[in-house]
């Protein structure tokens, strides 16, 4: 199976696990706090879990603070694409209000996948004041 296809499959599995984690945390926290704080805490916890699952399992790369700080952009993108998609489906395409969120969420998966891949597979650039890493190409060139 090609690497990118394998990543898509693993990305989908992480999404399922992440959704279950979010909902489980929400239900557990809602026992001790009002629904909205429970939602926010569960959302943040599931986003952190999603970061580590996607880093280690989906893309098989190491986590960095830079990746961690940029990773919430994937959730913002997902929310934006899903929200716009839902509006377009209901208002312009006449799709019912009940299936529209599921269709819009499915449409957001490729965009979210590509963005998370871009963020989590970014190569670390050497600091300007340091020598670049010694690789076979640079060793042979010198």
Please write the tens of the pLDDT for every residue from 34-81: 999 999 999 999 999 999 999 999 999 999 999 999 999 999 999 999
Number of separate domains in the chain: 1
102 within a domain of the structure (yes/no): yes
Range of the domain at 66: 3-123
78 within a domain of the structure (yes/no): yes
CA separation for the pair 101, 111 (Å, rounded): 16
The confidence score (pLDDT) of residue 124 equals 55
139 within a domain of the structure (yes/no): no
Mean pLDDT of 6-24: 94
CA separation for the pair 118, 31 (Å, rounded): 38
Question: Predicted confidence band at 141 (pLDDT cuts at 50, 70, 90)?
Answer: low
CA separation for the pair 64, 62 (Å, rounded): 7
pTM assigned to the model: 0.78
Percent of the chain with pLDDT over 70: 86
The confidence score (pLDDT) of residue 138 equals 46
Nearest of 13, 114, 105, 109 to residue 56 by alpha carbon:
13
130 within a domain of the structure (yes/no): no
- Radius of gyration of the chain from Cα atoms? 19
């Amino acid at each position: 199976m090609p690497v990118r296809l394998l990543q898509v499959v693993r990305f989908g599995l992480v999404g399922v696990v992440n959704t279950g984690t979010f909902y489980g945390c929400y239900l557990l926290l809602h026992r001790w706090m009002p629904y909205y704080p429970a939602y926010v805490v569960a959302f943040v916890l599931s986003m952190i879990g999603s970061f580590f699952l996607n880093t280690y399992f989906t893309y098989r790369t190491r986590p960095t603070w830079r990746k961690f700080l940029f990773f919430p952009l994937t959730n913002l993108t997902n929310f934006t694409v899903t929200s716009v998609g839902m509006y377009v489906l209901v208002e312009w395409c006449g799709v019912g209000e009940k299936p529209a969120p599921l269709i819009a969420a499915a449409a957001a998966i490729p965009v979210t996948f590509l963005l998370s891949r871009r963020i989590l597979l970014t190569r670390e650039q050497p600091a300007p004041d340091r020598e670049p890493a010694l690789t076979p190409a640079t060793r042979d060139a010198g």
